[in-house]
Amino acid sequence: MNTATLSSKYQLEFPKEIREFYDLKAGDSFEFISYNNRIELIPLKPIKKLKGIFHGIDTNIMREDDRV
């Protein structure tokens, strides 16, 4: 289990395994979400980095006749 300790300046250092797995870099931004009894961090990536993430996805949608 990867852990980190909050510093006196309220800073956290991400463990190396996590930084490498998620390709985190200095200066990356995160959104904090409070959910039940936990805090979730969502990395905010530039829209350009998302290009091609859905390559090969099936875009055929079955629609009802009145929805065409």
Record the pTM. 0.58
Per-residue model confidence (pLDDT) at position 38: 94
Closest by CA position to 43, among listed 22, 13, 26: 22
The ranges of the chain with pLDDT < 50 are none
Evaluate whether 12 touches 4 at the Cβ level (below 8 Å): yes
The domains of the chain are located at: 16-67
Confidence at residue 68, expressed as pLDDT on a 0 to 100 scale: 63
Q: What is the pLDDT of residue 20?
A: 93
CA distance 42 to 20: 16
> Could you identify the residue written with the tokens 């250092």?
13
What pLDDT score does 23 carry? 87
Task: Look at residue 26 in the predicted model and tell me its pLDDT.
Answer: 92
